Amino acid sequence: MSPQILVDGLISGAMIGLGAIGVTLTYSILRFANFAHGEFISWGAYFAFAVSGLLGYLSGGLAAPIGPFSFGWSLPIAAVASVALTAGLALLVDAVLFRPLRSRRGAVIILVMASFGAALALRNLLEFIFTSRPDYYTTNLQIAMRLGGGMRATPDQLLCLGVAAVLALAVHLLLTRTAIGRSMRAVSENPQLSGIVGIDIRSVVRMVWILGAGLAAVAGIMTGLIVQIRPEMGLDLLLPLFAAAILGGIGSVPGAMIAGLIVGLAEALTVQVFGAEWRAAVAFVILVAILLLRPQGLFGRPE
């Protein structure tokens, strides 16, 4: 068993974790499993692809690699734009689809089915615009650095790990230390009482979409940078996202991040031991095992 799986697992786990934070927030505050969340990952990746391509076209200097990294300033700038655009997309989907359904106070299954439909539409639209051929932010090659212990990682990979850690910590602090975070936790526990104490639920719902979609965009950009950009990239991550959100305990941001790393490591280990064709089964096995053994997740409280 090569120690390299530790690096590979942590990196893909960090992206799963960022996506799972959005899933866990939507699940605990809007109270439904949003199967369209994976599409925010793909759209985030393509928004950044389009913007960075445009920036590189306008100014060749922006495409020149920064220091040891494979990309130029066009990508971080595009990433910021993509976070805003993906958040806007999520708010739009909520306004035209989920909000009208919520206001009818229908069954949760209706929201879940609607999210399936939204996922399909969003994915097909992406494929229509960009085709299903893989794209890349950059074609520059990177030399992996030795980390010791037989492990290697590229500067891009290390940067992604660092950014994921900082973002997860920031969201955790937002939730535990700020007024909007307090309101989010309140709505998650009891929406009716939240209204009574004066919380405007609509602003909390907006915050959930902005945070969830923003983090999904970042996860998509990282996946695009380290692997490749494809319209199905979000769909492929969907099962790992839900496995991590449930393993971490619904509503727990640190739980989602840590569980994301666990799922990523388990996938890397499985690929090493059994072969790449078993990767997709890992998240499924984890999901079923946690639902049977400890449905509240590692960090959740029993109902």
Partner 1 sequence: MTAPQAPPIVLTTQALVAGYERDLPIIRGIDLSVMRGEFLTVLGPNGAGKSTLVKAIAGLVPVHGGAIRLDGQDITASPAHTRVRQGLAFVPQTENIFTTLSIQENLQLAAAILPKDKRQARIAALYDMFPDLSARPRRRAGQLSGGQRQMLAVARALVVKPSILILDEPSAGLSPKVVGDVFARLRAINRSGVTTVLVEQNVKAALGVAGRALVLVEGRVAHEGPAATLGDDPVVAELYLGARHSREAMAT
Looking at the Cβ atoms of 13 and 300, the one nearer to partner 1 is: 300
Task: Give the residue from 167, 152, 169, 164 showing the smallest Cα distance to 261.
Answer: 164
**Minimum separation from the CB atom of position 184 to partner 1 (A):** 11
Looking at the Cβ atoms of 152 and 185, the one nearer to partner 1 is: 185
Candidate segments 5-13, 142-150, 184-192, 267-275, binder of partner 1 by CB under 8 A: 184-192
Alpha helix segments (H runs only) across 178-249 = 179-189, 191-196, 201-226, 233-248
Looking at the Cβ atoms of 105 and 146, the one nearer to partner 1 is: 105
Q: How many residues bind partner 1 (CB under 8 A)?
A: 18
Q: Nearest-5° angle of CA 270, CA 285, CA 153?
A: 35
Q: Which of 1, 141, 196, 292 binds partner 1 (CB under 8 A)?
A: 196
Query: Any contact of residue 102 with partner 1 (CB under 8 A)?
Result: no
Q: Which of 139, 148, 192, 277 binds partner 1 (CB under 8 A)?
A: 192
**Minimum separation from the CB atom of position 187 to partner 1 (A):** 10
Sign of CA dihedral 112, 113, 117, 120: positive
Query: Any contact of residue 198 with partner 1 (CB under 8 A)?
Result: yes
**Minimum separation from the CB atom of position 273 to partner 1 (A):** 40
CA separation for the pair 48, 161 (Å, rounded):
19
Q: Which of 97, 110, 113, 201 binds partner 1 (CB under 8 A)?
A: 201
Query: Any contact of residue 302 with partner 1 (CB under 8 A)?
Result: no
Q: Nearest-5° angle of CA 135, CA 70, CA 221?
A: 50
- Helix (H/G/I), strand (E/B), else coil: 151: strand
Given the structure tokens 């390299």, which residue do they identify?
4
CA separation for the pair 273, 288 (Å, rounded):
21
**Minimum separation from the CB atom of position 164 to partner 1 (A):** 27
Query: Any contact of residue 183 with partner 1 (CB under 8 A)?
Result: yes
CA separation for the pair 103, 119 (Å, rounded):
21
**Minimum separation from the CB atom of position 302 to partner 1 (A):** 13
Cβ neighbours for 241, distance < 8 A, ≥ 6 positions apart: 16, 19, 20, 22, 23, 37, 38
- Residue ranges in contact with partner 1 by CB under 8 A: 179, 182-183, 185-186, 189-190, 192-201, 301
